[in-house]
């Protein structure tokens, strides 16, 4: 058994420096970009694409442009819908992309209307999940694919951290459970054709380029140190939400959340 001094000398010595050097080298992570490469494997020219939870429609616009397709984006938040419509107009795609103000569960499209469904980072907050997945499955053509990116809680997430994330109103504990979500796929008549756990890759990719994680840390540190003052000036529930969102971003780095990509098809 090494003495405490021996251990300290080792931890602070050249052997440890070498390990830090190794950790400074990129593992060549995949970036968000990879999702578009994956989608390209399933998209052909002229495809009708549904973006469920499209936010500003940036992904949908890209998919439609890359595949000379047609798109529908749906989102229930007014500011997202407004921005998405403005982005579609700015890209001169009004003839090809429709943005619907609503939820995926009640989209009025006929069965088998779409050649591809893109659903990135949305299922974590959809309730009831069964209704949403059934609606997507219904609108997806037979032999077509649905790409889902969603994150699950891992065993590293403590009960307290779970509670913290619950403050982020958009996430539901049940939807962060891998088993429950995969069971919901099955109930919706979908099967997993491909599953990739991307862990912190997208985060590492972005951090190696523009350091958004450092900004998240700084924001969280500042929020904590100035909380008392901020609480006098701003709604507490908004601060709680922001605090939880910042944690969410960091948990993706720490393996407390497990971002997972699925390619689904009808079973």
Ligand X SMILES: C[S@@+](CC[C@H](N)C(=O)[O-])C[C@H]1O[C@@H](n2cnc3c(N)ncnc32)[C@H](O)[C@@H]1O
Task: Identify the helix (H) or strand (E) that includes residue 152.
Answer: strand 140-153
CA distance 108 to 104: 9
Fill in the per-residue mask, 82 to 111: x = in contact with ligand X (CB under 6 A), - = not in contact: ---------------------xxx------
Site for ligand X in 124-143 (CB under 6 A): 125-126, 132
- Is residue 75 close enough to count as binding ligand X by CB under 6 A? yes
CA distance 136 to 131: 9
Identity of the residue, 54 or 157, whose beta carbon is nearer to ligand X in the bound complex: 54
Applying CB under 6 A, what is the total number of residues that bind ligand X? 17
Two tokens, residue 240: 């709680």
- Is residue 147 close enough to count as binding ligand X by CB under 6 A? no
Nearest residue relative to ligand X (C-beta): 53
Determine which residue in the list 39, 48, 53, 201 makes contact with ligand X, applying CB under 6 A.
53
Identity of the residue, 77 or 183, whose beta carbon is nearer to ligand X in the bound complex: 77
- Is residue 50 close enough to count as binding ligand X by CB under 6 A? no
Two tokens, residue 257: 């959340």
Identity of the residue, 74 or 137, whose beta carbon is nearer to ligand X in the bound complex: 74
Q: Quote the least distance from Cβ 125 to ligand X, whole Å.
A: 5
Contact 25, 65 (CB under 8 A): no
Q: Quote the least distance from Cβ 54 to ligand X, whole Å.
A: 6
The stretches of 125-235 forming alpha helices (DSSP H) are 129-139, 159-166, 178-187, 201-210, 212-225, 227-233
Q: Quote the least distance from Cβ 28 to ligand X, whole Å.
A: 23
Q: In what order do the strands lie in the sheet with 190-197?
A: 97-101, 70-75, 48-52, 114-120, 140-153, 257-266, 190-197
CA distance 74 to 103: 6
Identity of the residue, 53 or 259, whose beta carbon is nearer to ligand X in the bound complex: 53
Q: Quote the least distance from Cβ 145 to ligand X, whole Å.
A: 17
Contact 200, 252 (CB under 8 A): yes
Identity of the residue, 14 or 86, whose beta carbon is nearer to ligand X in the bound complex: 86
The DSSP letter of residue 57 is: S
Determine which residue in the list 47, 49, 50, 52 makes contact with ligand X, applying CB under 6 A.
52
- Is residue 203 close enough to count as binding ligand X by CB under 6 A? no
Name residues whose C-beta falls within 8 Å of residue 157's C-beta, 6 or more positions apart in sequence.
Answer: 165, 251, 256, 257
- Is residue 121 close enough to count as binding ligand X by CB under 6 A? yes
Q: How many CA atoms lie within 13 A of 84 on its CB side?
A: 29
Two tokens, residue 4: 């405490």
Q: Which residues of this protein are in contact with ligand X, per CB under 6 A? A: 52-53, 55, 74-77, 80, 103-105, 120-122, 125-126, 132
């Amino acid at each position: 058994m090494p003495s405490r001094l021996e251990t300290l000398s080792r931890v602070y010595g050249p052997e440890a420096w070498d390990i830090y050097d190794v950790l400074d080298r990129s593992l060549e992570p995949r970036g968000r970009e990879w999702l578009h490469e994956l989608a390209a494997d399933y998209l052909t020219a002229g495809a009708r694409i549904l973006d469920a939870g499209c936010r500003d429609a940036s992904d949908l616009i890209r998919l439609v442009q890359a595949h000379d397709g047609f798109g529908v984006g749906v989102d229930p938040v007014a500011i997202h819908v407004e921005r998405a419509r403005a982005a579609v107009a700015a890209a001169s795609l009004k003839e090809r992309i429709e943005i619907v103000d609503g939820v995926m569960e009640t989209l009025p499209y006929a069965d088998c209307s779409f050649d591809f469904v893109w659903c990135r980072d949305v299922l974590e907050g959809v309730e009831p999940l069964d209704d949403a997945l059934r609606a997507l499955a219904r609108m997806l053509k037979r032999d077509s694919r649905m790409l889902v990116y969603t994150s699950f809680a891992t065993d590293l997430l403590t009960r307290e951290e779970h509670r913290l994330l619950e403050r982020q109103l958009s996430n539901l504990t049940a939807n962060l459970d891998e088993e429950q979500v995969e069971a919901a796929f099955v109930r919706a008549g979908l099967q997993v054709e491909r599953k990739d756990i991307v862990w912190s890759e997208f985060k590492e990719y972005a951090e190696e380029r523009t350091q958004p994680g450092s900004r998240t840390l700084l924001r969280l540190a500042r929020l904590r140190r100035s909380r008392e003052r901020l609480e006098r000036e701003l709604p507490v529930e908004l601060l709680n939400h922001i605090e939880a969102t910042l944690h969410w971003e960091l948990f993706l780095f720490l393996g407390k959340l497990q971002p997972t990509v699925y390619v689904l098809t009808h079973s």
